[in-house]
Structure 1
Amino acid sequence: MEAAVIENLHDICKSIEIENKKYDKHCELIAVSKTKPNSLIEAAYSAGHRAFGENYAQELQRKAAELPSDIQWHYIGHLQKSNINKIIKIPNLFCIHTIDSVEITADIVKRIPKERESPINVMIQVNTSLETSKSGVSTNEEAIEIAKYILSCEKLNLFGFMTIGHPLKPEEGFVKLVETKETVCASLKLDPRLLKLSMGMSGDYKEAIQHGSDYVRVGSSIFGARDYSKK
């Protein structure tokens, strides 16, 4: 299984490289390792990969303690108040992709350890498909409000915007996320070149890169189907 992970990772990275050249991009891969054992993450790590994404706070907390400290962990699951402490105390946490309210942002700021020197990168999640099963803000006005609050917090760094595309028409969501970013930047006088887009998964990452994604989150195409009984 470890050999298959390394081969899959190589194939996905090569595919992303081709798309990057095609659209003059520098999109990076987040290998989504939720529910997967440490051995498979270690296999990808041995192949040189460092950016991994997790959806469950307790699982991320455990893996971060057991795996190499130079891994860049991305939290990409729904953020609940009860899980904030588990996530923000991880020293090599690179980014939280799923900020969707001023309230949850304020809770994060209150709980950031005093000893943490660098600000935590955060992304605003946008529900571009307006599906009730998905989290995220549904209007540009909400995104502007949260972005303004994040910018006022010294302990946080507004890193960009994230979305999960609709399974049948993902490109519509990608276009909408780009528009949200442009609207927020125009409203708050921000340089759009400094903010990232996290969009695209195993089935639609090529389209996401075409529309300007800076990070794609690929799991099953690298690690195989997920076993949710082991989260």
Structure 2
Amino acid sequence: MGFWSRRKGVTDDIKETPDNCLNKYEEGKPVLPVEEPEKSTKKLKIPLNKTTSDVKYILKTIFFPCPICSEINTVDLSELDPIMGGETMCVHCQVVLHIPGGYLTHSEVPKLKVYAGLPVAVRKFPLFYWNHPVINDLEQQGITRIIIQYGLWGFCQRCHHQFSPAVLINLPHTSGEIVDYRSLSSEEMNEMKSLRAGCCPYCSHRILLVIISDVPHYVISASENLAHRWEED
């Protein structure tokens, strides 16, 4: 979709190192740690991702206005995974966009939306995550684990490095706690350590572009089918 080629050029221009992120001081003050969410049943009102459902088909391409700047973007359907969809960047305002795979398979199209990344300070991410209505809904359904597969994307706002859901879901927890959804690689552990200190490990930027989307039924069904296959003797 052209997203990764644009992203690579931006990342290569960043000269700061991960060590700068953990040890950097601004105006004589140390980097603030990630804020821990308060244990409360009362949920905070948070901003949500801007979306658009105004998606048009022309042959094997979809056209839609960017939810942020309203300029028209196009995506070739062949670039979408039927389940996971795909990510791209608005060619005009450079915001990260998620396009659900249902647009390729024509599954649940009336309910689908294109999501735009929302700027969230790294240290505010736990509050954003735990107060998000999608996360609350998944908890009530008892399927929170699906977020590791679909529904959560996070990118550095500056260098556009994409952080895995496994890293992101560990940020809302205490500094010594790891959520055991799966083992983290050494690179992911370093990323998590840096983000818990409040900034991107690759460029020291302090703001993420986050997308938390609704999880379509076809994604839930695919996840359940995969789980059943692993359980078969």
TM tier, smaller = under 0.3
More helix by share: 1
Higher RCO by CA contacts (8 Å cutoff, separation 6 or greater): 2
The structure with the larger Rg is 2
Alignment TM-score, normalising by the size of structure 2? 0.28
